Amino acid sequence: MIIIGVDTGLYTGMAFWNTKLSEKPTAVEVPYIETGTRLNLWLASTLALEPNTKIHVACERYVMTSGVKSAQPEALMGMGAVEYICHAYGVPLRWQFPRDAKKRAPDSLLRQLGWYQRTKDGHANDAQRHILEWMACSYPEEFAHLIGI
Protein backbone atom coordinates (compact mmCIF):
# COMPACT_ATOMS: atom_id res chain seq x y z
CA MET A 1 0.00 0.00 0.00
CA ILE A 2 1.15 3.53 -0.75
CA ILE A 3 0.09 6.54 1.26
CA ILE A 4 0.80 10.07 0.09
CA GLY A 5 0.49 12.97 2.51
CA VAL A 6 0.15 16.55 1.29
CA ASP A 7 0.41 19.80 3.27
CA THR A 8 -0.53 22.58 0.88
CA GLY A 9 0.68 26.16 1.08
CA LEU A 10 3.13 28.58 -0.52
CA TYR A 11 5.56 25.71 -0.03
CA THR A 12 3.91 22.32 -0.08
CA GLY A 13 5.07 19.43 2.01
CA MET A 14 4.66 16.08 0.27
CA ALA A 15 5.41 12.64 1.65
CA PHE A 16 5.33 9.32 -0.23
CA TRP A 17 5.34 6.06 1.70
CA ASN A 18 5.37 2.59 0.20
CA THR A 19 4.56 0.65 3.36
CA LYS A 20 5.93 -2.60 1.91
CA LEU A 21 9.30 -1.27 0.80
CA SER A 22 10.28 1.38 3.30
CA GLU A 23 10.20 2.02 7.03
CA LYS A 24 9.56 5.70 6.52
CA PRO A 25 8.23 8.07 3.87
CA THR A 26 10.22 10.10 1.41
CA ALA A 27 9.27 13.67 2.31
CA VAL A 28 10.01 16.87 0.39
CA GLU A 29 9.01 20.50 0.25
CA VAL A 30 8.19 22.03 -3.14
CA PRO A 31 6.87 25.42 -4.30
CA TYR A 32 3.06 25.28 -4.51
CA ILE A 33 3.15 25.48 -8.30
CA GLU A 34 4.92 22.08 -8.39
CA THR A 35 2.35 20.27 -6.20
CA GLY A 36 0.37 18.84 -9.11
CA THR A 37 3.45 17.93 -11.11
CA ARG A 38 5.03 16.03 -8.21
CA LEU A 39 1.81 14.19 -7.35
CA ASN A 40 1.26 13.31 -11.00
CA LEU A 41 4.82 11.97 -11.26
CA TRP A 42 4.48 9.83 -8.13
CA LEU A 43 1.12 8.39 -9.21
CA ALA A 44 2.10 7.78 -12.84
CA SER A 45 5.38 6.07 -11.98
CA THR A 46 3.85 3.96 -9.20
CA LEU A 47 0.94 2.79 -11.30
CA ALA A 48 3.23 2.03 -14.25
CA LEU A 49 5.42 -0.20 -12.09
CA GLU A 50 2.74 -1.64 -9.81
CA PRO A 51 -0.67 -1.22 -11.48
CA ASN A 52 -2.58 -3.10 -8.77
CA THR A 53 -1.10 -1.22 -5.81
CA LYS A 54 -3.54 0.43 -3.41
CA ILE A 55 -2.80 4.14 -3.24
CA HIS A 56 -4.35 6.63 -0.84
CA VAL A 57 -3.84 10.39 -0.63
CA ALA A 58 -4.35 12.39 2.56
CA CYS A 59 -4.34 16.14 2.08
CA GLU A 60 -4.64 19.09 4.40
CA ARG A 61 -8.09 20.69 4.34
CA TYR A 62 -7.14 24.33 4.40
CA VAL A 63 -9.87 26.84 5.20
CA MET A 64 -9.15 30.45 4.35
CA THR A 65 -10.21 32.94 6.99
CA SER A 66 -10.08 36.71 7.12
CA GLY A 67 -6.91 36.75 9.23
CA VAL A 68 -3.85 38.12 7.43
CA LYS A 69 -1.63 35.24 8.56
CA SER A 70 -4.03 32.56 7.34
CA ALA A 71 -4.88 33.98 3.91
CA GLN A 72 -3.02 31.58 1.62
CA PRO A 73 -4.55 31.36 -1.84
CA GLU A 74 -1.65 29.08 -2.85
CA ALA A 75 -2.95 26.45 -0.42
CA LEU A 76 -6.32 26.50 -2.18
CA MET A 77 -4.66 26.18 -5.59
CA GLY A 78 -2.61 23.24 -4.32
CA MET A 79 -5.74 21.56 -2.98
CA GLY A 80 -7.39 21.97 -6.37
CA ALA A 81 -4.43 20.35 -8.12
CA VAL A 82 -4.44 17.44 -5.67
CA GLU A 83 -8.19 16.90 -6.06
CA TYR A 84 -8.00 17.03 -9.86
CA ILE A 85 -5.10 14.59 -10.12
CA CYS A 86 -6.58 12.13 -7.63
CA HIS A 87 -9.84 12.19 -9.59
CA ALA A 88 -7.99 11.68 -12.89
CA TYR A 89 -6.23 8.59 -11.53
CA GLY A 90 -9.19 7.28 -9.55
CA VAL A 91 -7.17 7.48 -6.33
CA PRO A 92 -9.10 8.02 -3.08
CA LEU A 93 -8.52 11.38 -1.44
CA ARG A 94 -9.14 12.09 2.23
CA TRP A 95 -9.28 15.70 3.41
CA GLN A 96 -7.90 16.26 6.92
CA PHE A 97 -7.65 19.26 9.21
CA PRO A 98 -4.09 20.24 10.15
CA ARG A 99 -4.98 20.48 13.86
CA ASP A 100 -6.03 16.81 13.90
CA ALA A 101 -2.84 15.66 12.21
CA LYS A 102 -0.63 17.77 14.50
CA LYS A 103 -2.43 16.52 17.60
CA ARG A 104 -2.14 12.88 16.54
CA ALA A 105 1.47 13.13 15.34
CA PRO A 106 3.50 15.71 17.26
CA ASP A 107 7.21 16.18 16.62
CA SER A 108 7.97 13.75 19.44
CA LEU A 109 6.19 10.92 17.57
CA LEU A 110 7.93 11.77 14.30
CA ARG A 111 11.26 11.62 16.14
CA GLN A 112 10.33 8.33 17.79
CA LEU A 113 9.59 6.83 14.37
CA GLY A 114 12.76 8.28 12.84
CA TRP A 115 10.67 10.36 10.43
CA TYR A 116 11.44 13.88 11.68
CA GLN A 117 13.25 16.15 9.21
CA ARG A 118 14.78 19.54 9.85
CA THR A 119 13.42 21.84 7.17
CA LYS A 120 12.94 25.58 6.91
CA ASP A 121 9.21 25.60 7.67
CA GLY A 122 8.36 22.01 8.64
CA HIS A 123 6.02 21.30 5.72
CA ALA A 124 7.61 17.93 4.97
CA ASN A 125 6.90 16.89 8.57
CA ASP A 126 3.33 18.13 8.25
CA ALA A 127 2.86 15.94 5.16
CA GLN A 128 4.10 12.95 7.16
CA ARG A 129 1.63 13.85 9.92
CA HIS A 130 -1.16 13.55 7.35
CA ILE A 131 0.04 10.03 6.54
CA LEU A 132 -0.13 9.10 10.21
CA GLU A 133 -3.55 10.72 10.67
CA TRP A 134 -4.84 8.78 7.66
CA MET A 135 -3.43 5.55 9.07
CA ALA A 136 -4.94 6.14 12.51
CA CYS A 137 -8.38 6.73 10.99
CA SER A 138 -8.27 4.06 8.27
CA TYR A 139 -6.13 1.31 9.81
CA PRO A 140 -6.12 1.90 13.58
CA GLU A 141 -4.57 -1.47 14.46
CA GLU A 142 -1.64 -0.97 12.07
CA PHE A 143 -1.21 2.58 13.37
CA ALA A 144 -1.11 1.33 16.96
CA HIS A 145 1.47 -1.29 16.00
CA LEU A 146 3.57 1.29 14.14
CA ILE A 147 3.75 3.64 17.12
CA GLY A 148 4.27 0.81 19.60
CA ILE A 149 1.02 0.68 21.54
b/e per residue 22-40 (b: at least 16 CB within 10 A) = eeebebbbbebebbbebbe
pLDDT tens digits, one per residue of 50-73: 999 999 999 999 887 776 566 788
- Residue 45 pLDDT: 95
pLDDT tens digits, one per residue of 84-139: 999 999 999 999 999 999 999 999 999 999 999 998 889 999 999 999 999 999 99
Q: What is the rounded average pLDDT for all residues in the chain?
A: 94
Identify residue 27 by its one-letter amino acid code. Answer: A
pLDDT tens digits, one per residue of 88-98: 999 999 999 99
- Is this structure's pTM higher than 0.85? yes
Identify residue 97 by its one-letter amino acid code. Answer: F
